[in-house]
Chain A
Amino acid sequence: MATDTAATTELSAADEGVRRRDWIHIAALGTAGVGGASVLFPLISQMAPSADVLAASTTDVDVSAIAEGQSIKAVFRKQPLFVRRLTAAEIEEANKVDVGSLRDPQTLAERTKEGHPDLLVTMGVCTHLGCVPLGAAEGESRGDFGGYFCPCHGSHYDTAARIRKGPAPKNLMVPNYEFTSDTVIRVG
């Protein structure tokens, strides 16, 4: 084989055990490996949300004009946001439910801000597969429990937007938000 050619005899002579050349193999391949991995990082990172997407991550909503029993749809991170002013009857109905019997146990108080028990702010994104539930606009079906109803796969949410029936695993998500004044909330 090639081992008897002049160019490779020096290799075969030192073939036993640890060779001086092992060092350069490890150093060269190690450097190439670290270099390759560090090139991979920006190639993966570039697919993450860019600075302009991250900058658009808060939304201010004026809630003063929402009448009792009425909902509005806003947009938060390119997704629908439901803001609903509950009626006294709806609050009562939500509080009547035995929390332990719920799929995703939460009280209405846990889902609203202190001092504003009638203002329910949730994402308008069904926790099953991401459709927009009905019920936020006038005349839409509110499902069996008077809250929201997702027509895609039949998930029913109650007046506190908690999942009561259908395939969705979680209540409609309440995003992080705070009151920046009595009438304006900042979501995000």
Chain B
Amino acid sequence: MSFAWAKQYEPQSAFTKWIDEKLPLPRLVYNAVGAGYPVPRNLNYMWNFGVLAGFFLMVQIITGVVLAMHYAANGLVAFATVEHIMRDVNYGWMLRYAHANGASFFFIVIYMHIFRGFFYSSYKAPREMIWLLGVVIFLLMMATAFMGYVLPWGQMSFWGAQVITGLFGAIPLVGEPIQVWILGGYAPDNAALNRFFSLHFLLPFVIAGVVILHIWALHIPGSSNPTGVEVKQESDTVPFHPYYTAKDGFGLGVVLILFTAMVFFLPNALGHPDNYIEANPLSTPAHIVPEWYFWPFYAILRAFTGDLTIPFTGIVLVQAKLLGVIAMFGSILLWFILPWLDKSPVRSGHYRPLFRKFFWFGLIPTMAVLFYCGGAPAEQPYVLISQLATGYYFLHFLVVLPIISQIEVPKPLPFSITEAVIGKGSAPEAPRAGSVDGGDAGTAPEGSLQPAE
């Protein structure tokens, strides 16, 4: 599953030849992230975040497995074992801070990764499956992060568990039994804590499995690129190794500087002081907010303050609570149909003037506003502002994007990635063996080049 000109793995020593015959794992790695994977030569640093997300998944799994060696998921001792980790276990403070801030960094790089997908329309054919799997990963991440935040059994943990499981209570008829079933009781307690721990341990490995599918699906069409023009010829690509291992390695170094700065100098900056108070089922903290990475979705949840009624009759169709829950889940589930909402054949935002305006002056400010309102107290003017922002959010995806893709006149695309990089003069290179239809300039429809198996 690569281009015809991809380098082939050639084992050099007798041992690697023997391995290659029995279990061609080195070949798999070579073709996936080695010299055997041709990648567009024009990727910018926005293409760095997939690798970074994989890195932070590994950080979370490694620090998490280690923390689980010292943590006990029992309501009586959970809070104390976290303190035990912080005070008694060798380097426990460092491992726990790395895990807590690692979650934040995982979300930062994932949001950048999704942002890249939105701007460069990475979700469009032939890459819909990569996008869909990505949304699945994001949902799994949210579930994992939520359950992980419950484990320290502090005040925010407890009330977060109460509020989030309360969302299921909004489902008509079966809501309350479902909430009780999820918690294993009428309020978060030992049963809930234990199952959250079990699932929090399991889900990262499920995520790792879906990540493998995500990368597998990526390697069939190959990576997209900032022009959105598909790879046409060998000169459009460079081997992943050493070109992008080096580039990703540099980006990783920069992110690690930021990450270690947070872990060692601002370890609690992204947390809540209330979570250093042990869970108390009889007292809710005054200002209860989720972790920062849930704020935009929390704002959507709280934006719905009135029931949906039939006008002038007073008959309630949908209660406000349920509306908020539907909108919150809908705001992400919407991404599953995104590839079919944005029908424009042009991928990159660089060549879509109208799309770009609505992206930078519509969607991005909306997300920023939702983010801010999600962390603010549930009072005016934040409620009204989040209502307006929520309205635009859904309008953008459901109305603006489909209309833009019909009426927009895109800018002329470069013929090829090589032309975009080097300029027109040097574009028509002599066709070579392996560069299938690079020569017949202009006539080849975009994406006509089928990657060889």
Residues of A within 8 A of B (CB): 1-2, 4-8, 28, 32, 35, 41-43, 45-48, 50-53
Contacts and interface: CB of A to CB of B under 8 A. Distances in A.
Interface in B41-79: 41, 62, 66, 69-70
A52 B69 contact: no
Contacts of A8: 238
A2 B88 contact: no
Interface in B210-257: 234-235, 238-239, 243, 246, 249, 256
B90 A50 contact: yes
A50 B70 contact: yes
Contacts of A5: 234-235, 238
Nearest to A35: B256
Contact of B70 (A4, A35, A43, A46): A46
B195 interface: no
Contacts of B426: 6
Nearest to A11: B242
| Chain B contact patch, size range | 20 to 34
Given A46-B66, A46-B70, A52-B84, A2 B239 contact: yes
B422 interface: yes
B17 interface: no
A53 B432 CA distance: 69
Given A8-B238, A46-B70, A46-B95, A52 B90 contact: no
B69 A43 contact: no
A5 B426 CA distance: 12
B95 to A, nearest CB: 6
Given A2-B7, A6-B422, A43-B66, A51 B88 contact: yes
A80 B90 CA distance: 26
Contacts, number: 55
Give chain B's interface secondary structure class. helix
Contacts of A53: 88
B230 to A, nearest CB: 18
**Most chain A CB atoms below 10 A, which of B69, B89, B234, B239:** B89
16 contacts: A2-B7, A2-B238, A4-B432, A5-B235, A7-B235, A7-B238, A42-B90, A42-B91, A42-B95, A43-B62, A46-B66, A46-B89, A47-B69, A50-B89, A51-B89, A51-B90
B87 interface: yes
B92 interface: yes
Contacts of A41: 91
A4 B95 CA distance: 48
A7 B66 CA distance: 44
A51 B234 contact: no
**Most chain B CB atoms below 10 A, which of A1, A2, A41, A52:** A2
Contacts of A32: 249
Contacts of B376: none
B180 interface: no
Give chain A's interface secondary structure class. helix
Contact of B249 (A7, A28, A42): A28
B94 interface: yes
A2 B94 CA distance: 45
A52 B87 CA distance: 9
Contacts of B243: 7
A159 B341 CA distance: 87
A72 B279 CA distance: 43
Contacts of A43: 62, 66, 95
Contacts of B69: 46-47
Given A2-B5, A7-B238, 20 more contacts: A2-B7, A4-B432, A5-B234, A5-B235, A5-B238, A6-B426, A28-B249, A32-B249, A41-B91, A42-B95, A45-B91, A46-B69, A46-B91, A46-B92, A50-B89, A50-B90, A51-B87, A51-B89, A52-B88, A53-B88
A169 B88 CA distance: 35
A45 to B, nearest CB: 4
A21 to B, nearest CB: 10
Nearest to A51: B88
A94 to B, nearest CB: 42
B158 to A, nearest CB: 25
A48 B422 CA distance: 57
- In the A-B complex, list the 10 residue pairs whose CB atoms are closest, starting with the nearest: A42-B91, A50-B88, A51-B88, A45-B90, A52-B88, A50-B89, A7-B238, A46-B90, A5-B235, A46-B91
B90 to A, nearest CB: 4
Contacts of B95: 42-43, 46
A41 B243 CA distance: 31
Interface in B1-56: 5, 7, 41
Contacts of B5: 2
Contacts of B432: 4
Contacts of B256: 35
Nearest to B59: A39
B171 to A, nearest CB: 42
Nearest to B90: A45
A6 B427 CA distance: 11
A49 to B, nearest CB: 8
A50 B95 CA distance: 14
Contacts of B87: 51
A52 B94 CA distance: 17
B368 to A, nearest CB: 34
Contacts of A2: 5, 7, 234, 238-239
A114 B437 CA distance: 96
Nearest to B67: A46
Contacts of A35: 256
